[in-house]
Amino acid sequence: MLDQNIKLLGEDELRRELIKLEPKNQKAAGSLIGRKFCHDNLILPIDVTADHITVGFPFEDHDQLQLLRDRAFKDLHVKIMDVSEIRKGLLSIWPKDDDDAADAAKSTRNRFIDDTILRAAELGASELVYQYEDDGGHVRYCVRGIWTDDQVINHDEMKAIIENTGSEAFGVYDKQLEQRGRLLRTLDGRDINLRVSSYPAWFPREGMPISKIVMRVLGRHELLPSFAHIGMTDKQATIFLGAIRSKKAGIIVAAPTGEGKSTTVYAGILALDPSKGNVYAIEDPPEIRIPFVTQTAINDQAGWTHERAMTATLRQKPSFVFVGESLDTDTARYAMRAMLQGYPSATSIHADDAVAALLRLMSLDIPIYQIQQGVTLLVSQRLLNPVCTVCASESEPSKEIIERCQSFHLPIPASVLHRNPDGCPRCFHTGLKMRQRAIFEMIPMTAELSNTIEQTRNPQQIAKIAYKHHPPLLAFARKLLADQVIDAQAFLEIPTPLTTDFKPIVEDIKVAS
C-alpha cells in the first residue's frame, strides 16, 4: 500500500497537471530530484509546486516511490508512463548535447588532473598543489624543496578541478573542512600513489572558503632504494643493520619533515626480510605499502588511537614494531613502551640532528632511565640536492664557508659550486640533478653517553660525548661540497653541531655513491 503522501494520477488528473506545465517547472522538478537519479531510475520530472512534485514512472514500485518521496521532501504525484515516453521526456529536459558537453568538460578536467599528476611524477616532485588565488588558479610543484609555479588557469576551472579532486579523494567533499584522503593513478605505465589533503582558505570575494589541495606524491615499495643504495657509509650500514637486527633494537630516526625518515626505516625493515618475521607499523597515515608488514592507520575519530593500536600490536607477538612519528608526549611514550617491553622497535621524530633528538625526548617528559634502557641507536639524516654541474658556477670558498670548516676542524675545499637558480634544459631549469643524496649520522647509546645524559642535561656536554667517535652531518656535507656534488648554500644550511670539540675520523667520511 502506498504512503498517504504518494498519489497515483489518472488520465484526467494528469491532464490538469499538464495544463500548468512549463519547461522551467520541469527543470526545477528535475534539479530537486537530480539528473543522474532521474536517468538511472527512469523518473520523468513533470511539475513542482510548494506542496508536491509530479513525476512519471514506469511501474508501481512502492519502495522506489517512497525513496523518491523522501529524496524530494514533498508529497508525490505519480503517473505510470511508458518507458519510451519517459526517455523522450528526459531528453527534452536534458538534451543529449548538454550531457555530452557536461561529460566533455568533466573529461577535460580529469585529463588535466592526470596530466599534472604525471608531470609531478616525471619531475620527481614531492608535492603537487592546486591553489586558488586572486589572479587565477595556480598549479604548483615542490621539486627537491624548491617550489615552482607551473601554470595559471581561470577561477571557474580551478574550482571545478578542486571539487573533482576532493570528491574522488575524500568521497564526500566539504570545502569548509580540512579533509584527508588518497588517490591512486596508473599513468603512462606507472602507478602513482598520492596522499591528498584539503585546507579551507579564506577569500572575501567568494563569500565562502575555497579549498587548497595539496597532494603528497608517494612511492611504492618497488621504488624504495635498497639498503645498499640508501647512502650510508659502510661503517654506518654495519651499525644500523646491527641495531635493527638486534633483539633489543630501540632506534630513533631524526630529521625535519620530508627528509626521508620513514624511507630509511622501510629500507631497514626490508633488509630484515619481513616475510620471515611478524612486523607491524603504526602510522598516521601509512605512506607506502610494504609487503608482509602489517600496517595500520590511526583513526582517532573511530577510536583507533595510538594507545589502542600499540596495545593490540604487542598482543600479537611482533618481531619488529615501527611507530611512524613521535610527535608528542603520548606517541613518544607508546614508542618507548614497545622498546622497554623488549620488542625491537623504531620511531621517527622531528629534530635537527641525533643529539637534538635525544634532547627532544627529554622535553617530551620521557624519563631519563627509559631513554637509557630503551634507546640503542640515534640516527639523523638529510636529503641533499646535487647541483647541476652543467649550469652551476664555480668559485673559491667564501669567508663563511672557510670559518665554518675551521671551527669544526674540517679541511677547506679548494673550490665550491653555486647553483644557477634559472637552471638549464638538462635540469628542467631547477639548477639541480634529479636524484637526491642522503647523508647520515649514527650515535649508538654507549655506556659513556648513557652516563652523561644521567649526570647532565647540558647539550654541549652531551654532544661532545656523542660525536667523540662518530662524525656529525656537517662532516659528510663538507665531503660532498669538496667533491662538487652539492653547492655552497646546501652546505651552509646543514645544522651546526652543538659542540666544536671533536675531530671527525677521516675514514668514516666516505660518502656512499
In which region does residue 365 sit, left (phi positive, over 0), alpha (psi from -120 to 50) or beta (all else)?
A: left
Output DSSP code: residue 28.
Answer: H
Split at pLDDT 50, 70, 90, the class of 118 is confident
- CATH number for 221-383+436-470 (one of 1.10.443.10, 1.10.760.10, 3.40.50.150, 3.40.50.300): it is 3.40.50.300
Report the chain's C-alpha Rg in angstroms: 31
Residues 188, 403: Cα–Cα separation, whole Å: 49
Delimit the domains of the chain by residue range: 6-94, 101-218, 221-383+436-470, 387-434+471-513
Give the sign of the dihedral formed by CA 186, CA 187, CA 190, CA 192. negative
Alpha carbon of 253 to those of 242, 286, 341: distances in Å?
15, 17, 20
Q: Which helix (H) or strand (E) holds 150?
A: strand 146-153
Q: Dump pLDDT digits (tens) for 305-355.
A: 888 999 999 999 999 999 988 888 888 898 999 999 999 999 999 999 999
- Is pLDDT of 21 > 50? no
- The set of cell numbers assigned to 369 is 632511565
Query: What would the mean pLDDT of 360-385 be, rounded to a whole number?
Result: 92
Would you state the pLDDT for residue 372?
92
CATH of domain 101-218: 3.30.450.90
Q: Dump pLDDT digits (tens) for 156-209.
A: 889 889 999 998 888 888 888 888 888 888 887 677 888 899 999 888 777 778
Residues 343, 325: Cα–Cα separation, whole Å: 17
> In sequence order, what DSSP letters do the residues of 103-140 get, joined into one string?
HHHHHHHHHHHHHHHHHHHHHT-SEEEEEEETTEEEEE
Which letter, b or e, does each residue of 140-176 get, where b requires 16 or more Cβ atoms within 10 Å of its Cβ?
Answer: bbbbbbeeeebeeeebeebbbbbbbbbeebbeebebe
Bridge pairing between strands 250-254 and 345-349: parallel
- Is pLDDT of 117 > 80? yes
